[in-house]
Amino acid sequence: MALVRWITEMGMGVDVHGGDYTKAARRAVSDALRHSSLNFFAAAGKERGEMNIEVRVAVAEPDEIDVHAIADEVPYGTVTITPVKGGLDVPAPNGADLMVIANAAILVSFPE
């Protein structure tokens, strides 16, 4: 069965101190979700549980993120996390700390 994308949301998250890619990614997903209020379910005859949600998270070191912790940020639907190379690392001037910036795209689709 084909999926049809209905929604695309974007967010950005930062771990200011500590270089934690998962923390930055969770904040990016939370940021995207906080900018959404989906009120079309009844009008479209859809249920929240029918949503297929792909979360693409971009950080400089995608292998360093905990995909299960990021999936926990999404309250409904079938969730898939796709880590990708991107984001931005900003080292402290003395090199003793790392700021991690993550970007997230939340793609919501329903079965056709």
CATH of the domain at 107: 3.30.1330.20
Lowest mean pLDDT among 26-30, 33-37, 62-66, 93-97: 33-37
Q: Which helix (H) or strand (E) holds 106?
A: strand 98-111
56 in any annotated domain: yes
Which residue range(s) make up the domain with 61? 3-35+47-111
Q: Which helix (H) or strand (E) holds 41?
A: helix 41-44
107 in any annotated domain: yes
Give mean pLDDT, residues 76-97: 94
Q: How many residues does the chain have?
A: 112
Give the total number of structural domains in the chain. 1
pLDDT, position 74: 93
40 in any annotated domain: no
68 in any annotated domain: yes
58 in any annotated domain: yes
